[in-house]
A and B are shown apart, each in its own frame.
Chain A
Amino acid sequence: LALASGGGHWVQLMRLRPAFDGFEVAYVSMYDSYSEQVSGSRFHVIRDASRFERSSFLSVFVDAILILARERPTVIVTTGSAPMLIFVLLGRLFGRRTLWIDSVANSERLSSSGRVAKKIAHCCVSQWPDVARREGVICWGSVL
Chain B
Amino acid sequence: VIFVSVGSMFPFDRLIEGVDVWAAKNPSVSVVAQIGNGTYEPKYASWSRMLAQGEYQEKLSACDLFVAHVGMGSILQALEARKPMILLPRLALLREVTTDHQLHTSDRFRARDGIEIVDDVPALQAAIDLAQTSPHRAPADGISSFAPDAVIQAVATFLNTGRQPGDLA
Residues of A within 8 A of B (CB): 6-12, 14-23, 30-34, 36-37, 48, 50-52, 75, 77, 97, 99, 101, 103-108, 111, 122-123, 129, 132, 138-144
| Contact call A7/B155, Cβ cutoff below 8 A | no
| Contact call B76/A143, Cβ cutoff below 8 A | yes
Q: Which residues of A contact B71 (CB under 8 A)?
A: 7-8, 105
B101 to chain A, nearest CB (A): 5
Between-chain CB contacts (< 8 Å), 20 pairs: A8-B72, A8-B73, A8-B76, A17-B146, A19-B153, A19-B156, A19-B159, A36-B52, A50-B98, A99-B158, A104-B72, A106-B101, A106-B104, A107-B101, A107-B104, A129-B167, A132-B167, A139-B168, A140-B151, A142-B148
8 Å CB contact of A11 from B10, B52, B73: B73
Q: How many residues of B contact A (CB 8 A)?
A: 45
8 Å CB contact of A15 from B76, B101, B167: B76
B169 within 8 A of A: yes
The 3 A-B residue pairs whose C-beta atoms are closest, nearest first, are A8-B73, A33-B52, A8-B72
Q: Which residues of A contact B145 (CB under 8 A)?
A: 14-15
Q: Which of B83-127 contact A (CB under 8 A)?
A: 98, 101-102, 104-105, 107-108
| Contact call A51/B8, Cβ cutoff below 8 A | no
Q: Which residues of B contact A75 (CB under 8 A)?
A: 159
| Contact call A140/B165, Cβ cutoff below 8 A | yes
CB within 8 Å: A-B pair count: 139
Q: A7-B71, A8-B76 are in contact. Are A105 and B151 (CB under 8 A)?
A: no
8 Å CB contact of B9 from A6, A132, A143: A6
8 Å CB contact of B54 from A18, A20, A33, A142: A33
B77 within 8 A of A: yes
B27 within 8 A of A: no
